[in-house]
Each structure stands twice: as C-alpha cells, then as structure tokens.
Structure 1
Amino acid sequence: MHRSLLIPALASLLAMPAAAQAPAKGVADDIFADHPSMDRNATVMPGPDAKPVASLFSERPIGDASVARTADGGWILTGTSLRNAPRHGVELWTSKDGKAWTNWGPAKIAGNGIAPGDISERYLAPSVTVAGGKLYLAFSDKTGCARIAIGTTPGGAFAASPCLVEDVPDASLFVDGDGPGYLLWGGGYIAKLALGFQKLAEAPRFLKPDQAQFAKHPPVGKDWPVRTRVGRSDATMVRDGDKYVLAASEVTGRMRTATEDLFVAEGPTPYGPFSMRALAVPHAGRASLVKLGEGRLAAAYNPKCDDGFALFCEQVGLVPLERAPDGRLRQAASVITEDSAVAARKALITSETMRDPSVTLGGDGYYYLVGTLDGYGYHRPEGGVKLWRSTDLKTWSDAGFVWRWEGMGYDFGKNIAELWAPEIKWVERDKTYYLAFSVMERGVGGKTWLYRSTSGRAEGPYANVTKSYLVDGIDGFPFEDDDGLYFLWGGGNIAKLNAKGDGFDGPVRKLVDVDGDHVGYEGNGLIKVNGVYFLTGAEWHGPLRTHGTYDMMYGTSKTLFGPYSQRRMGAPHGGHGTAFADKQGRYWYTMFGNDPTAPWRMKFGLVPIDIGDPASIGVSRIGAARD
C-alpha cells in the first residue's frame, strides 16, 4: 500500500483549488469525435504534483462508508463493520481533524421493534446525514427493511422509524436544506418522505438519465449502460448549488478486475431530468458524497479487497471532486486513485498527439520512436511517419519525417486514407531498420506495408520490400527470431518472411492462447526472454465506449507458434504498444492513453514492466515505479 505516499494533510484537501484545464485539441477525424481517448471524456487528469489518495480512517475494516461534516466543522463516519470485533448495530466514529477518531460504539437505536443493544441485529450499509441540528442514520435491518433513526449526538439515543421499504440492502437519506427528506436505495430508487420521516409520502420511482439525450443515436456501444442507469447500488444524493447530484456505484470490470466505481448524474430537481451518467471516481467502492463547504464536494474512497488496483481496501479516504470543462464532476487533478506504476507516470512527449507508439533500441545505441500522429492518423497526402530518438528514454529529439506517401504502389482513388500504427524495428541479422505501417482506407479496410532502410540508419531512406502492400489487415510488427524475420499483424496472424523479405516463406498461422482465443484483438507484439515468447496485445475491458479500459494483455509460450498461456493482464491502460529491453536489460512498454481513466490521453509515455519469472509480466505498484 506504500502508506508513506498516501497521507497528505486533510487541510490541504480542504484548501485544494480547482485544477486549470488545458483546451482540448481538435479532432482530425469526425468518426472519432466522441472517442474515449478525447481529453473532454477524461475522468482522470492528474496534475504534476498529484498524490495517491490518503487513508484517513483505518480504525477497523468497514465497507459502504458514509462520511458527513458536523456542525462544528468536524467529521462523523459510519459503515458496514467487517470481519473482526462486534458487527451488530451501527457503529459511529467522530473526528475533529480527520486524523484522530473517537469510536462511540453501536448507536443506541430503539423503537418500532428494535431493542437497545440487541446483538442479533446485523445492520447493512448504514449512512449518516447531518441536517437541522440532527443526526440521521439510514440503514437496513436484519429483515431487509430500510429504516431511519433520528438523534442529536453520536452517543445519545436514536429513535427508529417503522419499516419504510422492504428488501433494501443499501438505504441512504437526502435532506434538501433543512426541509424535505428523500430515501434513496439501489442504483437510483427514490421516494419522498412524509414530515418526520416515519413513512413514505409517495410511491418510489427509479432515477436514470433523461432519455431525450439519446434521440440522436450515439456511436455503437456508447449507449450501454449510460442509457439505463446511473449505477447498481448505494444511491446517494447531495445538492450542489442549483444542481442535484445523484451518485451510485457499479462493478464494471475495468482493468479486468472487480473495479467498483462511483458514477454521477445531475439534474435541476431531485427527480431530474438527469444528465448522462459520468464516471466520477475510479475504484471508490460503495461510497458516499461529502460536502466540504464553499461549494466543494468530495467522495468517500472505500474499495473492497476484490479490486486488484485499489490503493487500499476496507479503509476510508476522501477524493476531492472538480468540474471538468464541460461542467461534469470528476476526481480532482490533485489525487491518484489507482495503485499501479501506470497511474503514477507522466507522458514524455506532450508537444503533439501520438497513438500506437513503437520504440526500438537501435544498433547505434539510440532509442527510436514512431507512432500514429495528427490525432487519429494523418490523412493522405498529408504528413507521414515521423521519427524521434533518445539516449536515455527520458529526453526525445524530433528527427523529422522519414517516410511520406509517395511510391506506395497502390491506388487509393478518392477514398479517405489514414496512416496508422507505424512500427520501427532494428533487425540485428540485417544490420538495418524495418518500418511497418498500416493505412485504413475508408469504406475498404486496412492494409499494411513493410519498408526497409537502405542506409542502415533509422533516418532512412526507406524502400518498400515489395511492389505494394504486404498484407491485408492492420498493425504490422516485424519480429526477429533465431531462424529469421517474422511478420505479425491483425489479431495474431504470423508468417516468416522469405530471404528477400518481399513475401512469406511458408504458411500464415494464427497465434492463440490455450483456450483458442486471441491474446489481443489488435496491436500484437512479440518479445523473447530467456527462451520464452511473450505475445502482447490490446483489449478493451468494461463498458467499451464509455468507461472501459484499453489494456495490454499477454500470453507466453516456449515455442513461437504456441499455443500461448491463457491471456492475462500485463499493463493496465497499456493497450497497443511495444515491449522492449533497454541497455540495462530492464523492460518497458510503450503507452499512449486510450481510455478515460488513463493518466493521459494520446501522448507518448513509457511504463516499466517486470518479467520476474520465466512466464509472467507484472506492473509495479506506485511505490516501486522506476524513473
């Protein structure tokens, strides 16, 4: 957990200003206008001094954390007690400074069938609300009934309401100012309460995004699950000025693990109409919103231990929220909520956009870099393939264009053609560089060319190995093995190049894992370490075009053609990149940021990867990240 990095002062949290927002770059291609890699869709935009969210409360393991401010500026906290120590009743803790906590024990709740101190009661998901000089506890009793208990002090008596709604595992209370109260539960059920909060004043209704927003159909995959709900559990609400913020949690499967994230939507009334849902805090768990004062909001951070990339689990932190340029809420630029070396890193080239970056260590000791440029690829006849070089993987110099569109041996006609995924590779046996790149022809599909440097220098000039394109499909990758040069493309196609390098010697094969699945549906690459082949590739996990992650997957084999081990996560957010060894024998993976929870989007960066045993790739946690 690297706790030495996780404890910023609470005063700094409360004093945090909103982060400055850089203007978004224009979109080069209208088909990508709403792509998750656009900065305007970003959930995570960490600033240069961003720190991991701190664990403010670790007195005992709890879930479903609920945090509120008290009238004197202090804090009150509750949640579902887990595992050790007594687990009956509703436990309350208070703090003056968010550091030292006083445990008041189980709240003294009585009335309407609840006996004080009844140890048979196992309350679920209690939440705390402070309003009008009173403390309100919303909870589900042992029969599954949602109730509200009303008191004035944590150590005093609380009077329980009758059963308000049956079969509710996660009730919360919203009090609008010091007036009307609303019971919320599930992924967005709401019912107004009668005066005194002893019964419902209306039939429950379910809150979800306003369907009028979907009159114009969004890109395929963009309407699920945005259209149907805000979340699946622990609905809660706060008022932020003239807006009502509805929050709920959901396990989405981002990063191929049990990430439970906090989503929000906003409307002008407690009933909406609500905006499309937005991911506000990744890894937050089943948490609550907290008003910090002066118009600032925060979210409790209380992940479960099932989340493999949470910073801690069953403890409680606070994540300040800020407004994105379009007005939606998201986690502030001052915090990091993911425990991986990816989340803590920064882009290395920020002067222009880059996708699908490829790095090779050349025969002259320089590292060379190419990638998809101009947003989502240059349109013919503009641009080409640009080269950067570095001696230390930190500082990169622009060497200019090394290839342009002339002499490709193919007639595109009037079709739109986009240059994608260039790959550069130093081939030791030939003492020269190879350059592969794909062209996506609108309405036709993608094709991939292979060029070879005629000078032995990375700067070229480069000549086509054949008279036209080499293969149908995209994402070409040259791979040098002991017996020759191979070419990998698409979702795992591979063939050995002939002696001239202008065609294939032998059949085209398909690299798959032991289940017969591709390791990555695009962006495949290969490295060989101590006789073991590592096949990498890109996959989306979670909601595809909304809040999913574009991750690097891998499989291993002792033979080139496999089958490879069952695919596993290699680098979260890594997606389409290239693995390579540096001069010291350490391994890296290139990354460009293609999803809303990546620490940057469409910029070149490097992620350290660990090959700790003959058959695994790992990514360090924040505290172990390399420079």
Structure 2
Amino acid sequence: MKQQLVALGLFFLLCAPSTVFGIEAAASANGRTLVASDSENASRGSSVARQPPAKEHESKYLYTRVEKLLDVPMIDPAITRGPEGAYYLTGTTGTMDTEGLVNFAVNDGIRLWKSTDLKNWVDLGLVAPRWLVKATLEDLHLMRTSQEPDELQGLLSPEIHFVKGQVYLTYSLKPCGTGLLRSRSGKPEGPYEDLGLITKRGKDPSIFVDDDGTVYWVFGGGWIARMNQTLTGLAEPPRLIQPIDMREGITPGGQILQVGTSGAFLFKKNGTYHLVAAGIHGRLGVPCLDTFVATAKSLEGPWSRRKLAIPHGGQVTTFEGPEGQWYATFSGVDSRAVLRERPAIVPIDWVEGVAYWSSKGEPWPWKRPQVITEAWGWENARPISSLRFRDPIAVNGRDGYLYATGLHLYQSHGRNTCILKGQDPTGRIPWECVPLAGFRTVDDIPWFKDPGSPGAFLVSIAKISWARDTFWITFSVPGGGRTLRSESGTMEGPWKVAYDPGERAGWMWPRIPIDDYQGRLYGRWDTGLWPMTSDYSAIDRSAPPPPTEPGYKPVFDKRLEGYRWETVDGSSFIRGDVPAGNVYKIDGKYLMIGGAGWHGDYRAFGTYDSEVFWAHEIGGPWHPNRSVLPHGGHSGIFQDDHGGWWFISFANDNFLPDMHLLRCLPIEIRWMGNGYFISPKHKPENPYRHRPRKLIPTGPAPQPAYPVVNLPPNIRVDDPFILLGPDGVYYLTGTAGTDNDFQNNDGIYLWKSTDLTNWLPLGRVVSLGGEPGGIRQDDPFGPLHYFFSPPDSLEPRYDRGIISPKLYYIAGEWWIVFSLSRQKIGLLRSTSGKPEGPYELWGPEIASRRRIFLADCGWGPETNTDSYYFAFDPSLFVEGNEVYCVFGPGWIARLTPDLTAFAERPQLLQVEDDLYAGKGGCQIFKKDGLYHLLATNEWGDTIERTSKELLGPYGKPRIIFARSEGASIFFTKDGFPRLVASSPLDRP
C-alpha cells in the first residue's frame, strides 16, 4: 500500500490541479435520481469542441515510416557529400548463410553508390575488394584461446572521406582493428591502396577534419586521436570522449560514462562539435540500438550530457542535403527497428528541448518525429481526436461504435467532459465527443467542488468497463469520485450512481467493476480487489475470498476491507507513478495490461510503456509476462466488431509524434500455456532473429596459472566468488539461476566451508521477493522490483536477477556488492553483523531517506532507468582506509568513507595492450607491491595484468585461466592465491 500511496503522490505532483484530492471530499449521490442520458444532453446542445472533418484530420496527422534507399542488405550505412556536390553511399554488406540470415562479417569488400538527389542511386560496384587489405590475425597480437569462424572475411563499417584533395575509405576488421584505404586515382571509384592498420583494437573508424586542417581518427564508442601528416598512423594515443551531465542532483555514480559503445562519428556545425555514437538502450523493454550525441565547443571538452538523437539509428553518419536540410543515415539492426538491414536516411532537426527536459541553449540533432523508425505499425496509427487525454481506456460499445476516455487535460478540455465515440480505430476518421456519463461539463456534476484554479486537469481516473451485462463509468473530480452504471445496458445510459466511496475515501476504493469466470462481482483499483454486493452499492464483507491458484492464500487488507494483489516473485506491477493495469478475461485466464513502466533514460529519453501480467484466477497471484506494450503507459485494450484486439496509447513520451493524443494499434493476443503471446498485427518485413555467438578453440587450453577450486556439481552458480572470512571460514556466493537461466533468479545464496571441499548451504541470504530476507524499496521507483533488458546484447530479453554478487568483510562489517540485472550496481550491508544477514540496501540517500544504487544513471527520485552501459560485474578493492568499486570493462571509482556512494566520477583503468581491460569480470588484488588486474576477454579467457600504480597502466598480460567465462581469485589461509570459475568450455 505504501508503494501505491507514493505513486499517487508523484502522479499528482506531476499533473494535479491546485486542490489536493488524493483524499476526495465526496458529496453523496448514491441512490439519487438518474442523471441525464448522453442522448438527452446531446439533444439540447453541448459545449464540447467539435472534431475537424475527416480529410482535414487525416492530413493534419500524416506520419510516414523511414524508407530504404536501396534494396540491398546493408548495415552501418555512411553517406558523404563529395566536393562536386554528389552524394556517396557505402556500408557493410554481407553474405547469406545456411540459416537464411545475412552474415555481415563476410563480404567481398567495399561497395559504393552515387546520387545527385538522394533518391536515384548509381551502383559504382566493388571499389575496394577485400584482398587489398593485407592484415592478418597475427598482426593483431591477440591473447586468446578461441575465435569466431568468420573472422577476417570482410571489410566492415566503411566510410568515404574527402580529405585535402584525396579520397579515403575507412574500414574495420573482425575481430578488431581499424584501417585506411586511399584512392590511387583521386576518384571515389578508385582503385584503392591499403595504408594499413591505424589501430589494432577497436572498430567502426571515421575521419574528422577540423577547421584548421587537423585530421582526427575517431572510432569505437568515442575514441579520438590526431593523425600524422601522411594519414598512415596516429600522432598521439587515443583518448575517450566522455559526456558530463551537469544537472543538479546527479551523483558521480549517475554519470553516463560514454556517448556510445560503437559507431562514433564526429562533425561540426555552427562552431559546435557533435559526437554521435551507437549504444544499446533499454527503451520499450527490449534492447534498442539507438544513436546518441554529445556536444562541445572544444574537442578537449567539456562535453554535454549524452542525449538521444535517432531511435533505432545505431551507427550513423550525418550530412547536409539539398536546401540545407540535414539528414542521418539509418539501418536498423535491433528487434524493434521498422526497417532492418537496409540503407535509409531520416531528416534531423536541431532542437534545444523535448518534453520533460531542456538543454538550455545547447541544440542537438533530433530525428523528425513524423518519420517513424519504430516497428509495430505506428505510422498507421493516427490520433483518433485532437483532444488530449492521459491514462486512456477504450471499449467496444456493442452498438457499432467504439468509446474511449481518460484523464482530461485542462488545456485541451477546459471544463468540458468527454467520451470519444467513433468507428475507425486507425484515426483516419476522427471520433466525436459525447458527454461523460451524461454530464456535459464538470459544473453539471452534483459532487463537483470548484477548486478555483483548475491546474492540469479537473476530470481524472475516468474509466469505462463492462460487467454484469452493462457498462460502467468511474471518474473523479475535485469533490470526489463515483462509479456509475448504465441502466439500459448501453453506452447511451441513462447513468445512475452505483457506488459512492464516501467522504473519507482515499486513493484506494473499488472504482472498476469486474466479474470473474465464476460470475462473482468484484470492484478493483490498482492492486486492490473487493467482493461487491450484486448491485455494486457496497463491499460484500460476508463474501468468501476470491479464487486463487492452488496453495496461494490471498492477502486481506483490514484497512482497505479488501484483498491485495501480489506477484509470484515480488516484482512490481508498475515502473513509475501510476496504478496497476486494467484486467481482461482472455482464453480462460486473466490478463493485466496498463501498469505504466518507464524504460530507458527515464522521461526525456525513455518510453512510457505498459507492463503485462497474467493470473489463473482473479485472486492471483499474478505472473510477470516478461513483456511490455510499447508506449502504452497506463492504458488498456479493446476488441473491434470482428474480434480483433487493439491497444490504445496516449503517447506520453518523446518517441511518438503528437504527445497525449490517443491512437490505437492492432495486436494479436493468445494464451500460450505459461503466459500470453502479444505481438503487432503489422509484421516486420525482416524480423529480428537472435544469432548466438559461436566460438571455436584455437588449440589446447594452457594450464591455469593458479590452483583452481572445483565446486561440487550440486552447487549451480555462475560468477562464483570465494572470501576467506575473519573467522577462518570460506564463504561462497555467485549468480543463482532459474532453470539454468542465470539472467533470472530470486536472490543471493551463500555456502560456507572450512576445507574448500565440503560446502554447507546457508540458504538464500538475500531475496528479491517480499518474504523474510527480502530487500525492499516500497515506492514506485524501486528498481529491485523491476525487469530490465540486457545492456550488451540485442537479444529481446526482459530479466530480473541479482547478478555476480560478491561478499566482503570491510571495517568489521559484511557487505555484498552486486549488479541488478546488469543495469545497476548496488551495495548491501548486513544488519546483524553476520554473513548470512539480513541485508539492507546501502547507497546514496535521497528523498524520504530512501537508498538508491551506487551506479545508476537516474536523477533524483527517477532511478528506474536502464541506460547505464557498464553497470555489471562489480567487485571491491580495499587499500588502507580506501574502498574502490571496479566494474564493467575496467572502470574504477573510489567510494565515500561510509560506502554510501561513489566519491568521484569513475575512471577507466589504463592497459597497455588494449582500450579496455576486458569485457567484464574485473577484479584487483595487490601482491608483492604490484597491483594485479583480472578481466575476462571477448573470448572467455581470464587475463591478468600488473601495474605499479592502481590506475595503471597495466601491462604484461597473460592468460591465467582459459575459457573460464569469468574467474575470480581469493587467498587461502596460508596466503596463496587460488581461482574459482563457473563452468568452463574446456578445462584441462
């Protein structure tokens, strides 16, 4: 309940009128005479605004989807305007594999196209065959014991550049390395010669020429270095461009550390440098490869906050087209891109703000909203009305019409009330507005109390439902809320007040009627469920508990005089500031849709989606469907006259045009035995298919450099970590799994041993559920309750688990550092002084004395974000009185003395042979005066490097455990180091 009350407070804070009606003063109208019907009100005129004619409405909301320039399989398209004014297009082409997928690592070289109008393209052919490049795997000096089968079989992510009268093609190789080709003829068509490798690490190279003629090599996610005069190498070591978020309240752990992780491209406009790069972003509840940008007045910085520029854009280049219009290239590769693996362009405009955020005079490129880059058919979903609503609901009126309403935004509605009525859910023909339950204006509502200043809305929580063979409407106004029943069984009314919650009613009362499959009538709102009398006039206190799954007992809340819904795993029904979703009976089960969830970089650059749950019985418990409806927010679904399902959205984010205008999208819903399959009716032309990475050994694995502790087969953990405690006992923890899925679990488990052979289970010491041992955040912004998508894979996943936990004993207390679903880094403190806990979340303290995470890009209370690239694989290193957190591919940050936060912005550990220490699994220990840095490389080997300084540079790399997929080190009682690792691919 506390969680929902906080949600209510935040909801009203965002959009409430000046009067506070979380506790509604209700004027009794229960049992009064019938109010007027909609048809009666319509006959005597209405002040509700009329909708524009169909043609005017359709032309006003004209959306288009991004269209391909060529029907050629291509990713990473790059367009450059030549000195003669023509446009040149290149990109990564590929070869069809045996599974029917295009493998873009395999091609015959670099191809080029030319256009004078960006519409008609002339194929210039294969201008740079692959055989031109002489680099070999040996030239890369890689330390590894496995490789992928398609390495060095193509030239990747090429760009064409015109520099000082010469023509160049950049390229990268798989597995790594960047190089440069130069045209021997001085023409784009070539022929070309290879100038060799520019870097042996990194990928996705580009060239930037500054106003003074200095040439820079830009690559990876934002690495930059000045080139030598001949452009055959670098004149300085590469440095990483890092954005800085200057918003007040951002902690060092809240800083986004890179603009992107791949596809960097640098350009200058009006004296400002723009670095764009691609990065995986958890919008929509799936990994999206978006394009981000940071700006600066100097290449030395400071660089601005990272901002989103092109949703699903991935790796792009930008250029000025005809008549001064700027464009960015586009070729989607993630599962939600409307166009996948084909070259395209999108128009971009320079903006200084979007909804929920302003850059305060720092313009950045922003995709034109009316050009849709997202799948599911949003280009066909026009607004059904020009009136603005929030939190909509829609129903089939069973009279040939569809009806929709929601919270009325005052700037759009004024004092009028409205239910939209129409027949075309596509929005080509606008819906008309009819009075809400017969009331034309709020002044016609008997219990309305004029607040003086209306604020953002006067009509809220407006819902339409169907139960007991009739329609019901519930809504609130200043003065109270009521639930009304149609006496005719139709949407025409007349309407009578069926339930009056009374003057002392607060947020939670039975607002929405629903009957179960057994025919029993209930009232519901948020997570509350109340058995009701047959006429819905009162709570039925004598009714038996609602039916539930076998073995589950519903929770009765005495204060509410009703039952509280729960989830089976302690996860949250919402990811934001609104109530749980609306409930529908489909295929013999119960489907909940509309618990709003922010995904991505919260409000400005995130999406407002609908969480999805299901239950076997109306009493619960509720199961996460592990999917969301994009842009749904707090909304619902409805059926058309043909039985087809639609969901309604009010576009409460910056990634659909025309915010707060209602639109409908056709979807498919069917029960699959253990959840609902929900997908769009508009199917993608080239659907995403996840291709797992394949590794093959390069030879026998070397012996481990340290003795290895082998865990017994009954201990199934990933990322195992062993600590020798002050009591002389070894403690083991690691990532637990559910059915061998180590991305999802229910908490942290602990074992202890005195001999490293026999392990005694201590059980689950930290739980993600609500039972004893659970760590809770009882508010709507408590990320421990949430599912997240992965930060480093495009596989559509929605996971919840504590990943790579590690136990430490520091300053007389027990601590566990962990990653939450690889999206946040948290710290737990034992409140008992014992390793088995219980534990509490420890971190920065914000409003209401709530603890948040050490590493989390959230701002203020908005910590339910999933856009922090490197919040995974944390470990702690203690030296004297200082404690450091090491995480991701090699970032390090000193903690404050009380361990509540990062004391400084994280720094990247320097390594002599690479850009990063590894892909993860970083750990530091000190021995014989040297710092030892462990990390897992791209191929699953554990690498050790040493340095005389904590921050590096670390050198003398060696493989200490081959194909371990992440090993950790600990010291035994006699002071010797040992390794422990999860299931290796090939252990000698």
TM-score, with normalisation over the residues of structure 2?
0.50
Matched, 1:68 2:80: yes
Aligned to 2:537: 501
Is contact 2:472–2:513 with CA below 8 Å preserved after alignment?
A: no
Query: CA RMSD, aligned part only?
Result: 4.3
Question: Secondary structure at 2:581's aligned position in 1?
Answer: strand
Matched, 1:190 2:224: yes
Question: Secondary structure at 2:601's aligned position in 1?
Answer: coil
Question: Secondary structure at 1:546's aligned position in 2?
Answer: helix
Distance 1:275 1:88, change over 3 A: same
In structure 1, distance between residues paired with 2:421 and 2:303: 49
Q: Which letter maps to 1:323?
A: W
In structure 1, distance between residues paired with 2:606 and 2:88: 34
1:610 pairs with one of 650, 668, 690: 668
Distance 1:169 1:123, change over 3 A: same
In structure 2, distance between residues paired with 1:178 and 1:149: 23
In structure 2, distance between residues paired with 1:547 and 1:196: 41
Aligned to 1:354: 389
Task: Give the total of aligned pairs.
Answer: 562
Aligned to 1:39: none
Aligned to 2:514: 479
When structure 1 is superposed on structure 2, of 579-588 and 413-422 the one drifting more is 413-422
Question: Secondary structure at 2:394's aligned position in 1?
Answer: strand
Is contact 1:183–1:192 with CA below 8 Å preserved after alignment?
A: yes
Distance 1:260 1:392, change over 3 A: closer
- CA positional deviation for 1:569: 3.2
Aligned to 2:500: 465
Instruction: Spell out, residue by residue over 1:281-334, the C-alpha distance to the aligned partner (whole angstroms, 9 max, x if none).
Output: 111122322343553322221222xx2221233322122222347543222355
Instruction: Spell out, residue by residue over 1:5-25, the C-alpha distance to the aligned partner (whole angstroms, 9 max, x if none).
Output: xxxxxxxxxxxxxxxxxxxxx
Alignment of 1:161-176 (within 5 A): 161=196, 163=198, 165-176=199-210
In structure 2, distance between residues paired with 1:362 and 1:187: 52
1:620 pairs with one of 681, 687, 692: 681
2:129 pairs with one of 94, 106, 111: 106
In structure 1, distance between residues paired with 2:62 and 2:484: 43
Q: Which letter maps to 1:313?
A: R
Aligned to 1:87: 106
Is contact 1:423–1:477 with CA below 8 Å preserved after alignment?
A: no
5+ residue gaps, structure 2: 1-10, 17-58, 98-102, 139-150, 354-362, 546-555, 557-561, 686-988
When structure 1 is superposed on structure 2, of 412-421 and 546-555 the one drifting more is 412-421
In structure 2, distance between residues paired with 1:475 and 1:547: 35
Matched, 1:344 2:380: yes
Aligned to 2:608: 550
Question: Secondary structure at 1:593's aligned position in 2?
Answer: coil
In structure 2, distance between residues paired with 1:92 and 1:417: 55
When structure 1 is superposed on structure 2, of 74-83 and 339-348 the one drifting more is 74-83
Distance 1:251 1:54, change over 3 A: same
Distance 1:459 1:289, change over 3 A: farther
In structure 2, distance between residues paired with 1:176 and 1:292: 20
Is contact 2:111–2:127 with CA below 8 Å preserved after alignment?
A: yes
Aligned to 2:350: 323
- CA positional deviation for 1:452: 1.8
Q: Which letter maps to 1:503?
A: I
Matched, 1:289 2:289: no
Is contact 1:612–1:618 with CA below 8 Å preserved after alignment?
A: no
Question: Secondary structure at 1:422's aligned position in 2?
Answer: strand
- CA positional deviation for 1:516: 4.6
Alignment of 1:219-298 (within 5 A): 227-292=256-321, 294-298=323-327
Instruction: Spell out, residue by residue over 1:514-559, the C-alpha distance to the aligned partner (whole angstroms, 9 max, x if none).
Output: 5453454534111213433222122222222232222223234443
Distance 1:148 1:291, change over 3 A: farther
TM-score, with normalisation over the residues of structure 1?
0.76
In structure 1, distance between residues paired with 2:456 and 2:540: 26
- CA positional deviation for 1:183: 1.3
Is contact 1:303–1:310 with CA below 8 Å preserved after alignment?
A: yes
Question: Secondary structure at 2:284's aligned position in 1?
Answer: helix
1:53 pairs with one of 50, 66, 71: 66
Q: Which letter maps to 2:533?
A: N
Aligned to 1:444: none
In structure 1, distance between residues paired with 2:418 and 2:625: 33
- CA positional deviation for 1:236: 0.5
Q: Which letter maps to 2:500?
A: V
In structure 1, distance between residues paired with 2:406 and 2:274: 40
In structure 2, distance between residues paired with 1:48 and 1:338: 17
- CA positional deviation for 1:349: 1.5
Q: Which letter maps to 1:528?
A: K
2:461 pairs with one of 411, 422, 437: 422
Aligned to 2:640: 582
Instruction: Spell out, residue by residue over 1:93-151, the C-alpha distance to the aligned partner (whole angstroms, 9 max, x if none).
Output: 23343264523352664689999xxx957555333323333222333456844333332
Is contact 1:340–1:621 with CA below 8 Å preserved after alignment?
A: yes
Distance 1:523 1:57, change over 3 A: same
Distance 1:530 1:201, change over 3 A: closer
Is contact 1:265–1:275 with CA below 8 Å preserved after alignment?
A: yes
1:573 pairs with one of 599, 617, 631: 631
Distance 1:144 1:360, change over 3 A: closer
Aligned to 1:399: 434
In structure 2, distance between residues paired with 1:196 and 1:250: 32
Is contact 2:448–2:477 with CA below 8 Å preserved after alignment?
A: no
Matched, 1:388 2:411: no
Is contact 1:425–1:478 with CA below 8 Å preserved after alignment?
A: no
Q: Which letter maps to 1:254?
A: R
Is contact 2:392–2:463 with CA below 8 Å preserved after alignment?
A: no
1:158 pairs with one of 170, 173, 193: 193
Distance 1:291 1:388, change over 3 A: closer
Is contact 2:405–2:462 with CA below 8 Å preserved after alignment?
A: yes
In structure 2, distance between residues paired with 1:530 and 1:452: 28
In structure 2, distance between residues paired with 1:416 and 1:291: 43
Distance 1:78 1:389, change over 3 A: closer
Aligned to 2:42: none
* Identity percentage of aligned residues: 23
Aligned to 1:3: none
Distance 1:204 1:229, change over 3 A: same
Aligned to 1:37: none
- CA positional deviation for 1:262: 0.8
- CA positional deviation for 1:247: 0.5
Q: Which letter maps to 2:680?
A: V
Distance 1:607 1:224, change over 3 A: farther
Instruction: Spell out, residue by residue over 1:558-587, the C-alpha distance to the aligned partner (whole angstroms, 9 max, x if none).
Output: 432344554143531112112222333332
Aligned to 1:10: none
Q: Which letter maps to 1:311?
A: V
Is contact 1:161–1:197 with CA below 8 Å preserved after alignment?
A: no
Instruction: Spell out, residue by residue over 1:177-207, the C-alpha distance to the aligned partner (whole angstroms, 9 max, x if none).
Output: 6922111123222222232223434454333
Is contact 1:108–1:158 with CA below 8 Å preserved after alignment?
A: no
Is contact 2:276–2:292 with CA below 8 Å preserved after alignment?
A: yes
Instruction: Spell out, residue by residue over 1:9-56, the C-alpha distance to the aligned partner (whole angstroms, 9 max, x if none).
Output: xxxxxxxxxxxxxxxxxxx998469xxxxxxxxxxxx97443322222
Larger Rg: 2
